[in-house]
Chain A
Amino acid sequence: MKTQRPAAGRRRGSVLMITVCLSFIIGVVLLSCLSLVKSQNQAVARSQAWNICMPVVEAGIEEGMAHLNNKRESSYVANGWTQSGTDLIRQRNYGDGFYTVNINLTDPLKAIVVCTGYVRLPVLVAQANHPLLAAVNSGGVAYVCRAVQVVAKRQGLFQKVMLAKERIDMNGNGILTDSFDSTDPNLSTGGVYDPAKVSDNGDVGSIAGLTNTVGVGNADIKGRVHTGKGGTVLIGNQNGVVGSLAWHAAGKSGVEPGWANDDMNIWLPDVELPFTGGAFPPVGGVVTSNGTPYTYKYVLSGGNFELAGLDVKSGERIAVTGDSVLLVKGDVTMVGGVDILPGGSLQMYVTGTSATLGGSGINNAGRATNFVYFGLPSNKTLSLPSNGDFTGVIYAPSADLKLNGGGSSLMQFCGACVNRSITIGGHYTFHFDQSLRGSSPRQDYVIISWVEL
């Protein structure tokens, strides 16, 4: 037997070929792996930048909203904001990126805020130049950008007939809530409440989440009841009804399904002083009406007035003949009354601990916004032991409101109230003027829609 070794040159060639093949295979595999890892890394990096963009955009929207609601500045052109026509514009660097905010105020009650956020793309992605990793270029830097448009509206302070931070107790008899619209002839007559033209927007709300947050008792609520999370509505063994007009018309009792909800979550801002100087003390006078002269303790003919305290005794009255603002830096005791005469309106700001609007109360033949009561944070109690109807609105979020009086007759409360708590002991029927939602004193801008562009 003879076996021959191959020539040395041929052996070396085979080894070389095998080595080359192996290296090629390993190289291809390695390249594929690296390529996969790279593309995944790029996709993850871009996704992260894309998601980071949302907080940047919302930071811009927050700044825009803060600017709109900033009462400290007398002009919108402040704090780095510029104005172009009806647009306000601001750009701010934010981390590695920036955002631009544009506020359109063509309608001053309805601002359109558009914010575009830019986040710098990681170099890994920026250099990839891949169509699926699209970027915008600004100043030679690649960014990923997203834009959001929000619409912010200044709604009226009064959206419900009764709103409280804490409990609402309806202890009286014959209590009723419904709504009308003083600007709609189908829901009012001559701008005044008409029992034949009512709607079921007499909503009652409390932001408290307590057991029995709203004690309906035997009241007829022609509207919805809202409470904070976990808050409940107490009907008890009494014949209280909460629901639509149809629910009431059908003679049903209890809460109509879907008309009580524990989703209430709003912020009630404190009242601030209307002015810090330049007001005058009001003086008395004679006002002639239909040829008959009447003597008033104070005549508020328009402008700003200030008193250290207000004490209107029985037989005394206040006349309001112009658009007036009265700041009372003390308690209010009213046994007489206030006459809001044609062409007059009164905004009363009270800093005193307690206020009592009794006697014949507020005689306001016009719309509810003609009498606005503002209780500052130091105003803790407000009583309405009146024997007359009340047409006006009350915003005193730190004050407990007590409604008594009326004897056996029903009294009408046309307007709305916002208080710390509300206790009703008298015979009141509450009629919410729906026009208050749009025409009452405005609250801050609130976002009503949010859309990513």
Chain B
Amino acid sequence: MRFCTGGRPACAGVTLVELMIGVFLTALAATALLILSASTGRSLAEMTNYVDLDHYNRVALDKLTRELRQVRYLVSVANNKKSVTFSDKDGLDVTYTYSPPNKALLRIKSGQTTTLLQQCDSFDFQFFHRTPLSNNFALSSTSITNCKVVSFSWQCSRSLLGRKVNTEQGQAARIVIRNKKQI
């Protein structure tokens, strides 16, 4: 066996212990990098997911409020309150249906179906009367005929790699039907 002396770099080497420590440290750094990458990637995916969810929710909310504000009156409500039909501003019926199996909110008018929301976990409509109660600011629930105010709320979520990661619970609005007239 021959040992190199420190004065000759070309012959310099590392001991087995040094090598093992080096390998260990490299593995540690690689693992940390991997975890960091995975975490960053997942966070980015989640953020993208949320931005997308938020975008679709906001567009749906803006569209619904704009449309409901100018319908004429409420025509019918399904027993489970998941499907409502209004007389639209042009006199044609427009139906908003929430389909729990498909987790989708659909808008149906003149035979055309448009999907307003997808991956929607729940959707609720509420209906209120025009006339205020005395000494009370609360709205009172109403029959279909007298519906002047429509309230709705929903909850959507998105999954990533089979796991639910994003939810949007704050989407709710209360719309006064401007064109509803006294009968």
Binding site for B on A (CB under 8 A): 1-5, 22, 25-26, 29, 32-33, 36-37, 39-40, 43-44, 47, 50-51, 209, 224, 226, 228-230, 258, 261-266, 447-452
Q: Which of B113-121, B162-170, B175-183 contacts A (4 or more CB under 8 A)?
A: B175-183
Closest Cβ of chain B to A60, distance in Å, is 15
Binding site for A on B (CB under 8 A): 1-2, 4, 9-15, 19, 33, 37, 40-41, 43-44, 47-48, 51, 54-55, 58, 62, 65-66, 69-70, 89, 129-134, 140, 145-146, 178-179, 181-183
Contacts of B182 in A (CB 8 A): 226, 263-266
From A32, A40, A265, give the contact of B44 (CB < 8 A): A32
Contacts of B134 in A (CB 8 A): 209
CA distance A5 to B129 in the complex (A): 85
Contact B133 A2 (CB under 8 A): no
Closest Cβ of chain B to A451, distance in Å, is 6
Contact A263 B70 (CB under 8 A): no
Contacts of A40 in B (CB 8 A): 51, 54-55
From B13, B19, B58, B181, give the contact of A2 (CB < 8 A): B13
Contacts of B14 in A (CB 8 A): 3, 5
Contacts of A450 in B (CB 8 A): 69-70, 178-179
Contact B131 A209 (CB under 8 A): yes
Contacts of A4 in B (CB 8 A): 10-13
From B11, B37, B146, give the contact of A261 (CB < 8 A): B146
Contact A263 B13 (CB under 8 A): no
Known contacts A43-B55, A47-B62, A263-B130; can you find 11 more A-B pairs with CB under 8 A?
A22-B33, A26-B40, A40-B55, A209-B134, A229-B132, A263-B131, A263-B183, A264-B131, A265-B131, A265-B132, A450-B179
Contact B13 A43 (CB under 8 A): no
CA distance A36 to B58 in the complex (A): 16
**What number of A-B contacts does a CB cutoff of 8 Å give?**
93
Contacts of A26 in B (CB 8 A): 40
Closest Cβ of chain A to B58, distance in Å, is 5
Closest Cβ of chain B to A44, distance in Å, is 7
* Residues A452 and B37 in contact in the complex (CB < 8 Å), given A4-B11, A264-B131: no
CA distance A36 to B4 in the complex (A): 57
From A50, A224, A266, give the contact of B183 (CB < 8 A): A224
CA distance A224 to B44 in the complex (A): 62
With both beta carbons as reference points, the residue of chain A lying nearest to B145 in the complex is identified as A261
With both beta carbons as reference points, the residue of chain B lying nearest to A2 in the complex is identified as B13
CA distance A450 to B181 in the complex (A): 11
Closest Cβ of chain A to B57, distance in Å, is 10
Contact B44 A29 (CB under 8 A): yes
Contact A451 B62 (CB under 8 A): no
From A5, A32, A265, A266, give the contact of B13 (CB < 8 A): A5
Contact A451 B146 (CB under 8 A): no
Contacts of A5 in B (CB 8 A): 9, 12-14
CA distance A43 to B59 in the complex (A): 10
Contacts of B69 in A (CB 8 A): 450, 452
Contacts of B37 in A (CB 8 A): 25
Supply 24 A–B pairs (Cβ within 8 Å), ascending by A.
A1-B1, A2-B11, A3-B13, A3-B15, A5-B13, A26-B40, A29-B40, A32-B44, A36-B44, A36-B48, A40-B51, A43-B54, A43-B55, A47-B62, A226-B182, A229-B140, A262-B146, A263-B145, A263-B182, A266-B182, A449-B179, A450-B70, A450-B178, A452-B69
With both beta carbons as reference points, the residue of chain A lying nearest to B178 in the complex is identified as A450
Contact B70 A452 (CB under 8 A): yes
CA distance A50 to B47 in the complex (A): 24
Closest Cβ of chain B to A41, distance in Å, is 10
CA distance A36 to B53 in the complex (A): 12
CA distance A25 to B36 in the complex (A): 11
CA distance A44 to B40 in the complex (A): 24
Contacts of A452 in B (CB 8 A): 66, 69-70
Contacts of A224 in B (CB 8 A): 183
With both beta carbons as reference points, the residue of chain A lying nearest to B61 in the complex is identified as A47
With both beta carbons as reference points, the residue of chain B lying nearest to A39 in the complex is identified as B51
Contacts of B41 in A (CB 8 A): 29
